[in-house]
Structure 1
Amino acid sequence: MAALRRRPRALVAFGLWSALGAVPVLVFGRSVAGATDAFLAHRAGPALAWLGVLAGAAVVGAVGAARAYGPLAAVVEPFRDALVRHVVRGAVHESVHTERADDGAVARLTQQVEIVRDTFAGLLNIVQGFVFTLVGALVGLLTLMPVTLLLVVPPVVAGLGLFLGLVGRSIRRQRELILAEERIAESATALAGGLRDIAACGAEDAVAASAGRLIDAQAAAARSMARLAAGRTVALAVGGRLPLLLVLGAAPWLVRHGATPGVVLGSLTYVLQGLSPALATIIRGVGGSGLRLAVTLDRVMSAAGTPPAPHPARSGGSELALRRVTFAYGPEAEPVVDALSLRVPDGDHLAIVGPSGIGKSTLSRLAVGLLTPAHGSVTLGGVPAAEADPSVRVLIPQEAYVFGGTLRENLSYLRPGASDHALDRAVAAVGAGPLAERLGGLDGTVDPAALSAGERQLVALARAYVSPARLVILDEATCHLDAAAEERAERAFAARPGALMVIAHRMTSARRARRILVLDGTRAWLGAHEDLLEDCPLYRELHGHWTTEGRAPAVR
């Protein structure tokens, strides 16, 4: 239902074209009645005119049915996209927090999501067809002979009520049947791989009994589904066949009260060509496709998992706090971060330095909640980092991600709807003006393969600058820029509201920071540049090496 509410215009257009597609149903019985009575009166002209009306209505209905597919796609495709995003978020969340790849995500993306999309589209078509066919047939009966509604409406309502009463139970039984079949498949796979051990232990009877219980459960679920299918058949008979019998049985009475043969035949046409097929379609469609949609969608949503709901952003800022955090890549591995406590308040500018592989990037991933510490806690704005509102922080890694599309789409990705003024200001702040001009402005097309590594970093920096994030972490995010471009970008972020953490690529980044965190693998040193030169041997060594070697040109 949320997918429908998010696209009201497309839904209205779909309904209007669907209504146009139901015009033949509306005039079918009326045209048959008029043509029949005219032929019986030997008036060929009016009879042919009624048949012409019917033919014209068929053309109008064909146009409406054809034009309905565009709005239908506008409703269905965003629904599919939302499912894809849910699966990807769930897979990424699972992989990051368990350090295991979610192998089932590929199947959900390539198979189950497409099944849901196709079934959802088909079900929408079925529902709209039923609604407009039902309304058209009832309106036609009303204009033809209102009393016939008393013969048609009660059984139709009774049949629909019976069917709807079975839907909830059918969904539960369908889910039970699928789960029972999955359990049998899992059991068969396990048995096939352990036949030798089963025979060696003499466990044939116990294993056979266990497998038998699974098969019995599957058979019981199948029998229950069969009984429910029989109930749907009864509902169809009540709602689709009983009105026909009632109209036929009441035909003499209708004729005595003014109905012509054409009116009786037209009423039967509305029942046979309108109500009965519509009811059969909705019962078979919802009873088949609808059940598959409900169960498959439930499997996709539950299997993909749902990351913890983000806490709302707090106006008080996004203070980062690490309290005795320890993290290692594996239970037997040496900790990369060991009992580290750190506070980065709103408005701070912190640089992190240390030898390669010492844990700087790991620290950045802990800070934004992509990794979960084995011990200790990491909070953003007072809530666990993994549960914090994603808009509170942004992490730019060394290899910047840029996607095909316009420059505007790339820059506004983290802040949809950002004004041109905000985007232009971000471009100017990080020094990406010449690049934007070369690309043709905000509406220029971005080809990631045609950009250098430094240009991709400029796009990512401008994207982060325009975002609402209060905590910005640059993980060597300027390593492909020269020293002057790096300084301009870092100073822009330092002047921006919020906090800035820089994993330094050059020691000049550390000199510009208000505080510096030095990681040496055994302990952490925190202080200003002058204090660390005096107290931290590793910092003196790194600074001395940089001073001796000079400013090596950055790789572009």
Structure 2
Amino acid sequence: MKPLTVRQVTWRALRARRRDLARLGGWSLVEAFPALLAGLLVARAVDDGFLAGRLVDGLAWLGVLAVAVLVGAAATGRTYRSLGAVVEPFRDEVAAQVVRGALRDATRAGGRPDSAAMTRLTHQMEIVRDTFAGLLMVTRGFLFSAGAALLGLLALAPVAAALAAAPLVAGLVVFLAALPAMVTHQRAYVRAGERLGQSAATALAGHRDVLACGAQARVASEVEQRVSAQAAAERTLARMAVIRSLSLGIGGWSPLVVLLVAAPWLVDRGMTAGAILGALIYVSTGLQPALHTLVQGLGGGGLRYAVTLENILRVYPHLPPSAGETPGPRPSTGPVGGLPAAEVRGLTFRYGPNARSVLRNFSLTLADGEHLAVVGPSGAGKSTLAALLAGLVPPQEGTVQLAGTPVADAAPAVLARLRVLLPQEAYVFTGTLADNLRYLRPDADDDTLEVALDALGARPLATRLGGLDAPVVPALLSAGERQLVAAVRAWLAPAPLVLLDEATCHLDPAREATVEAAFARRPGSLVVIAHRISSALRAGRVLVLDGDVPVEGTHEQLLDRSATYRALVGCWDEPMTPSRTVERQG
């Protein structure tokens, strides 16, 4: 997929919210009434009222202008409400992509947390949100206010409109010609700030090592260089304000000078004093403020928006579909037409370019409805295989498909519908028990939750907590209780494939047997990273990973074919306590 540009992302966000933009434009049109009528009404008040000796008429025309101003002020409040409907969803989309990208980079093979991601998510994200809103406001303000002023000026005196428009266009040309250089300097400023954040985060994270090695001066010097570079970039950016002032002088103040100088000539051509005053009002209260707002907005916030969003897209190039857009076709979320639940072909994975391969040219097919146990010594790649099947890490070679869908190309939402992974460290959040259980299936009613609690033997825990509506405090639960809550949550998930990565290691053997039996009865397929012999005995097929060639078969077959499996069974059987005896028989 080709990375999106700032222009494409902005256009897509605006196009997806056409209705909200239309509402914003409608209120902006009402807001522009004072700019459209100001000069005409002042000209009437002067020529037909005050200069004609009719004070009441003059005041009446000014009263009409006051009413127009009040209507415009009321519309201004509405424009800000409409603006939020456009800006906030866009901000949420970009923030979600930053979070997804940072998590993906931190959890991929060889990846590590990026300290600059926090800068992008906080400082840079707020810049994008605020400047996107400002960009919309100044652009629509210039279009409607300057357009209304020019229309009013044209209706009042076409010659005066031509005299005012010429320097206005010249000022815009000067500003637009300088925009590329402004973008370059703004980009340098953003990059300098990001490098400063990375340097400072690295220095703070390793401060003990810095002190131990006596490298305080060197590290402080490196951070100081980053500070100086950012300060220099900011000073250069500030100097670009001269160009903005020049364009404002040409486009904003020159029309006033031109009209004042040309006033005698305009009077000779028949313009009245009221018309000249009205023309000056159009320029001073309409064209000049609109141009000033546009230049300051584009030259300040507009540049920050373009460069900051460009920087985010450089790191996280693909944004999710905007709200209101129709996403592309989605893969099937379950086995279709006899497709296997999971299919692995030629898989090779290592944790670094020079590391030993954890899995090498590995292939596996998991049929729909099959129950597979994965065993092996510590470090053999069991959890790595679970992560690869779940699509959390990409292999260096080979492919992984779930129900015919390649996990490498599947969006996170699609993967969530295809599989559920339950790791050893169970996550339970503060909230009610029902909230925790519905996390992967929000539409589940209370009866469904009750059935799940009974199926996995979690009824005593739910009773002790006080029922579905009882608050859950994770710190007050044992490791086994947290695993049980997470297991019920995973059992309720609609995904057809369940991956249990030592997810029941803190449960007693009897409770573990109940949980695994419930998952085995559940429609779909089950992969269990086994840590007890009973888990392997309950599975229809067992896969042994031992750092060499993987071996698979039933429990009895592997006792004959795999020395590693026999060794594991021996370790599991010793010491042979009564509980172990019961476990072996189960």
With structure 2 as the length reference, what TM-score do the two structures score? 0.69
Contact 2:116 / 2:198 at 8 angstroms: preserved in 1?
no
2:147 corresponds to 1:135: yes
User: Which residue is 1:199 aligned to?
Assistant: none
Tell me the amino acid that sits aligned with residue 24 of structure 1. Answer: P
User: Which residue is 2:274 aligned to?
Assistant: 262
2:72 corresponds to 1:50: no
User: Which residue is 2:503 aligned to?
Assistant: 477
Q: How much has 1:273 moved relative to structure 2?
A: 0.8
> Which 10-residue stretch deviates more, 168-177 or 426-435?
426-435
Q: How much has 1:149 moved relative to structure 2?
A: 4.0
Separation of aligned partners in 2, 1:241 and 1:394: 65
Q: How much has 1:361 moved relative to structure 2?
A: 1.9
Contact 1:352 / 1:518 at 8 angstroms: preserved in 2?
yes
> Which 10-residue stretch deviates more, 452-461 or 260-269?
452-461
Separation of aligned partners in 1, 2:67 and 2:437: 52
Summarize the Cα distance change of 1:262–1:301 in structure 2 as closer, same or farther, 3 Å threshold: same
- Deviation per residue, 1:356-403 (Å, 9 max, x gap): 6654223212333434556x5352257875444432333222333355
Q: How much has 1:286 moved relative to structure 2?
A: 0.6
Contact 1:517 / 1:524 at 8 angstroms: preserved in 2?
yes
Separation of aligned partners in 1, 2:560 and 2:570: 11
2:391 corresponds to 1:379: no
Q: How much has 1:104 moved relative to structure 2?
A: 1.9
2:527 corresponds to 1:517: no
User: Which residue is 2:34 aligned to?
Assistant: 24
Contact 1:105 / 1:304 at 8 angstroms: preserved in 2?
no
User: Which residue is 2:331 aligned to?
Assistant: 313
Contact 1:86 / 1:301 at 8 angstroms: preserved in 2?
no
Summarize the Cα distance change of 1:137–1:503 in structure 2 as closer, same or farther, 3 Å threshold: same
> Superposed, which structure 2 residues align to 1:380-395 within 5 Å?
380-381=401-402, 385-390=407-412, 391-392=414-415, 393-395=419-421
User: Which residue is 2:528 aligned to?
Assistant: 502
Helix, strand or coil at the partner of 2:398 = strand
Q: How much has 1:479 moved relative to structure 2?
A: 4.9
User: Which residue is 1:202 aligned to?
Assistant: none
Contact 1:366 / 1:378 at 8 angstroms: preserved in 2?
no
Summarize the Cα distance change of 1:130–1:285 in structure 2 as closer, same or farther, 3 Å threshold: same
> Which 10-residue stretch deviates more, 231-240 or 115-124?
231-240
Summarize the Cα distance change of 1:170–1:325 in structure 2 as closer, same or farther, 3 Å threshold: same
Contact 1:325 / 1:338 at 8 angstroms: preserved in 2?
yes
Summarize the Cα distance change of 1:520–1:427 in structure 2 as closer, same or farther, 3 Å threshold: farther
Summarize the Cα distance change of 1:547–1:51 in structure 2 as closer, same or farther, 3 Å threshold: farther
- Deviation per residue, 1:135-174 (Å, 9 max, x gap): 3323433554566544444554454455434434532454
> Superposed, which structure 2 residues align to 1:377-416 within 5 Å?
377-381=398-402, 385-390=407-412, 391-392=414-415, 393-403=419-429
Separation of aligned partners in 2, 1:410 and 1:136: 56
Separation of aligned partners in 2, 1:156 and 1:57: 26
Separation of aligned partners in 1, 2:366 and 2:192: 52
With structure 1 as the length reference, what TM-score do the two structures score? 0.73
Summarize the Cα distance change of 1:269–1:352 in structure 2 as closer, same or farther, 3 Å threshold: same
User: Which residue is 2:383 aligned to?
Assistant: 361
Separation of aligned partners in 2, 1:9 and 1:459: 44
Helix, strand or coil at the partner of 1:273 = helix
2:288 corresponds to 1:295: no
Select 2:45's aligned residue among 35, 49, 60.
35
Separation of aligned partners in 2, 1:256 and 1:99: 77
Q: How much has 1:551 moved relative to structure 2?
A: 8.9
Summarize the Cα distance change of 1:328–1:184 in structure 2 as closer, same or farther, 3 Å threshold: closer
Separation of aligned partners in 1, 2:258 and 2:581: 95
Contact 1:317 / 1:470 at 8 angstroms: preserved in 2?
no
Helix, strand or coil at the partner of 2:425 = coil
Helix, strand or coil at the partner of 2:427 = coil
> Superposed, which structure 2 residues align to 1:530-549 within 5 Å?
530-533=556-559, 535=561, 536-538=565-567, 540-541=569-570, 544=573, 548-549=578-579
For structure 2, the residue ranges without an aligned partner over 5 or more in a row are 1-9, 200-224, 322-327
Summarize the Cα distance change of 1:476–1:159 in structure 2 as closer, same or farther, 3 Å threshold: same
Tell me the amino acid that sits aligned with residue 515 of structure 1. Answer: R
Contact 2:346 / 2:363 at 8 angstroms: preserved in 1?
yes
- Deviation per residue, 1:203-260 (Å, 9 max, x gap): xxxxxxxx9xxx9xx99x959x96x766655544454344435544554565566644
Separation of aligned partners in 1, 2:434 and 2:64: 53
Contact 1:152 / 1:243 at 8 angstroms: preserved in 2?
yes
Separation of aligned partners in 1, 2:56 and 2:433: 66
User: Which residue is 2:76 aligned to?
Assistant: 65
Helix, strand or coil at the partner of 1:526 = strand
> Which 10-residue stretch deviates more, 304-313 or 483-492?
304-313
Contact 1:311 / 1:387 at 8 angstroms: preserved in 2?
no
Separation of aligned partners in 2, 1:328 and 1:36: 82
Q: How much has 1:339 moved relative to structure 2?
A: 6.3
Contact 1:90 / 1:304 at 8 angstroms: preserved in 2?
yes
Separation of aligned partners in 2, 1:58 and 1:235: 29
Contact 1:25 / 1:274 at 8 angstroms: preserved in 2?
yes
Aligned length: 515
Q: How much has 1:501 moved relative to structure 2?
A: 1.5
- Deviation per residue, 1:75-116 (Å, 9 max, x gap): 333333333323322322222232433122223233222233
Q: How much has 1:407 moved relative to structure 2?
A: 8.2
Summarize the Cα distance change of 1:264–1:87 in structure 2 as closer, same or farther, 3 Å threshold: same
Q: How much has 1:272 moved relative to structure 2?
A: 0.9
Contact 2:394 / 2:408 at 8 angstroms: preserved in 1?
yes
Select 2:121's aligned residue among 102, 109, 116.
109
Q: How much has 1:278 moved relative to structure 2?
A: 0.7
Summarize the Cα distance change of 1:114–1:41 in structure 2 as closer, same or farther, 3 Å threshold: same
2:106 corresponds to 1:95: yes
Q: How much has 1:408 moved relative to structure 2?
A: 8.8
Helix, strand or coil at the partner of 1:500 = strand
Contact 2:128 / 2:309 at 8 angstroms: preserved in 1?
yes
Separation of aligned partners in 1, 2:191 and 2:315: 13
Q: How much has 1:304 moved relative to structure 2?
A: 5.2
Tell me the amino acid that sits aligned with residue 398 of structure 2. Answer: S
Summarize the Cα distance change of 1:308–1:81 in structure 2 as closer, same or farther, 3 Å threshold: closer
Question: RMSD in angstroms over aligned alpha carbons?
Answer: 4.9
> Superposed, which structure 2 residues align to 1:38-437 within 5 Å?
38-96=49-107, 97-141=109-153, 144-145=156-157, 148-153=160-165, 155-157=167-169, 159-172=171-184, 174-175=186-187, 232=244, 235-248=247-260, 251=263, 255=267, 259-303=271-315, 313=331, 319-321=342-344, 323=346, 325=348, 327=350, 331=354, 337=359, 340-354=362-376, 358-372=380-394, 376-381=397-402, 385-390=407-412, 391-392=414-415, 393-403=419-429, 428=451, 431=455
Summarize the Cα distance change of 1:78–1:523 in structure 2 as closer, same or farther, 3 Å threshold: same
User: Which residue is 1:528 aligned to?
Assistant: 554
Helix, strand or coil at the partner of 1:394 = strand
Contact 1:90 / 1:307 at 8 angstroms: preserved in 2?
no
Summarize the Cα distance change of 1:10–1:509 in structure 2 as closer, same or farther, 3 Å threshold: farther
Separation of aligned partners in 1, 2:169 and 2:434: 54
Tell me the amino acid that sits aligned with residue 380 of structure 1. Answer: Q
For structure 1, the residue ranges without an aligned partner over 5 or more in a row are 188-210
Contact 2:43 / 2:278 at 8 angstroms: preserved in 1?
yes
User: Which residue is 1:193 aligned to?
Assistant: none
Separation of aligned partners in 1, 2:398 and 2:135: 47
Separation of aligned partners in 1, 2:503 and 2:128: 40
What percentage of aligned pairs have identical amino acids? Answer: 46
Helix, strand or coil at the partner of 1:351 = strand
Q: How much has 1:448 moved relative to structure 2?
A: 5.8
